[in-house]
Amino acid sequence: MEYAPHPTPPASEPQPQRSEPIHPGSGRGDWLKKLWGPIAAAALLLVKFGAKLKVVLLLLPKVKLFTTSATMLVSIGAYALIWGWKFAVGFVLLLLVHELGHVFQLRREGVEASAPMFIPFLGAVISAKSMGDDAAAEARVGLAGPILGSVATLIPLGIWLATGSELFQALAYIGFLINLFNLLPVLPLDGGRAMAALSPWVWFVGFAGLIAMTFFFPNPILLLVILFGGLESWRRFKARKTPESQAYHAIPGRTRALVAIVYLGLAALLAVGVFETFLEKDFDDV
């Protein structure tokens, strides 16, 4: 501002081939594939459909195609190029529920919020004039996304446990992972919003950790978080002594304790979910 066994295919059908995992690897060599894969796919599409794409882009604003459903379809198409359409649909739906958590809570706080807009390979965003009246409201808005997103992830988790489907295991894994990632205590991520109600100084600790993570696992998304998070953190740091800023962060100790319990408890549960659903397999052919 976020992660078993499977049905044996019939003997007449070929066994799905094993390939690289869809999740972040532990080696530094994997990051090149993650960094350049989406870029290469987008470049190929631009080369192949360049002329048509230019016409479409000129017409989109006039036909109001930039709606939630339209950007969802674009994202599904983009992710399907890499992971297959089944995973792409599930992944985008998990992102949608996560973002709707923010939208619902913002509206409960009396803040008008837009519907989610999806950006391929970057996730989804919503827009709002504020995060609420104080740091407690900002924390509630921030945590609402991972909470609802985690609840939604229980659906593929349950299907995997009932059927052993690797597709749903992978969806459960990625659902837990994206919600856990969003709990990093760095602005503008959801965890950074929660830290507004606890201790804004944690932003700088989280920021240092994120820089270290980016060094070991270079990723364009992490670079964007560092850029925008750094700018917002610096803006808030400069304004920390203003009466408005002090009033914004003046919330009851009971509220701080409740936010801490929810934040730490959710992070722990998500970490367990990521560990238990870890899948060393691609599932394009499942």
CA distances to 165, 166, 227, 232, 275 from 124, rounded to whole Å, are: 27, 25, 17, 19, 25
**Catalytic pick from 2, 20, 99, 112?**
99
How far apart CA 204 and CA 218 sit, in angstroms, is 20
- Residue 141 and residue 105 in contact, taking contact as beta carbons nearer than 8 Å: yes
- Strand-pairing partners, residue 123, are 119
Structure tokens belonging to residue 110: 């009396």
Give the SS3 label for residue 216: helix
Residue 99 annotated in active site = yes
Cis upstream peptide for 188 (omega within 30°): yes
Alpha helices in the chain (DSSP H): 30-63, 68-83, 85-108, 135-163, 166-181, 190-195, 202-216, 220-238, 243-248, 253-276
Distance, in Å, from the CA atom of 142 to the CA atom of 194, rounded to the nearest integer, reads 6
| Cα–Cα separations (whole angstroms), residue 185 to 50, 82, 203, 270, 280 | 40, 30, 6, 15, 28
- Rounded Cα distance, 227 and 48, in Å: 32
Which residues are catalytically annotated?
A: 99
